[in-house]
Amino acid sequence: MSSLFPVFLLLVITAGLMTATALFIPKGPNQVVIRTALMVGLAAFYLLWMITYMAQLHPLIGESPPSRCWLRCGVDGMGVCIAPVRTVGNH
């Protein structure tokens, strides 16, 4: 079983960067815009990374059928047997 340690580690790093962004943006007329853009960017980075990482840990598509099934089944693009294929000769 894979570890969820990287998910939580990157969450802590992202939260730290967001806090640093909120505290260290220089004062000015565009302070709120810059702060918001950086925080939304960091949140989007984390969410996209986490979803990709979790999708690799728990894929929705299962394993392909055994190799002997390839000879007797019609296979769609995802490697799933959809219907038996009639073969000429041995049944």
Domain ranges of the chain: 5-57, 62-91
Q: Which amino acid is at 42?
A: L
pLDDT digits (tens, 9 = 90+) for 22-72: 999 999 999 999 999 999 999 999 999 999 998 888 777 766 655 555 555
DSSP 2-40: --SHHHHHHHHHHHHHHHHHHHHSPPSTTHHHHHHHHHH
- Is it the case that residue 75 has pLDDT exceeding 60? no
* Confidence band of 1 (pLDDT split at 50, 70, 90): very low
* Dihedrals phi, psi of 59, to nearest 5 degrees: -70, 150
Whether residue 7 contacts residue 53, with contact meaning beta carbons closer than 8 Å, is answered with: yes
Whether residue 90 contacts residue 81, with contact meaning beta carbons closer than 8 Å, is answered with: no
pTM: 0.63
pLDDT digits (tens, 9 = 90+) for 6-19: 999 999 999 999 99
Whether residue 39 contacts residue 22, with contact meaning beta carbons closer than 8 Å, is answered with: yes
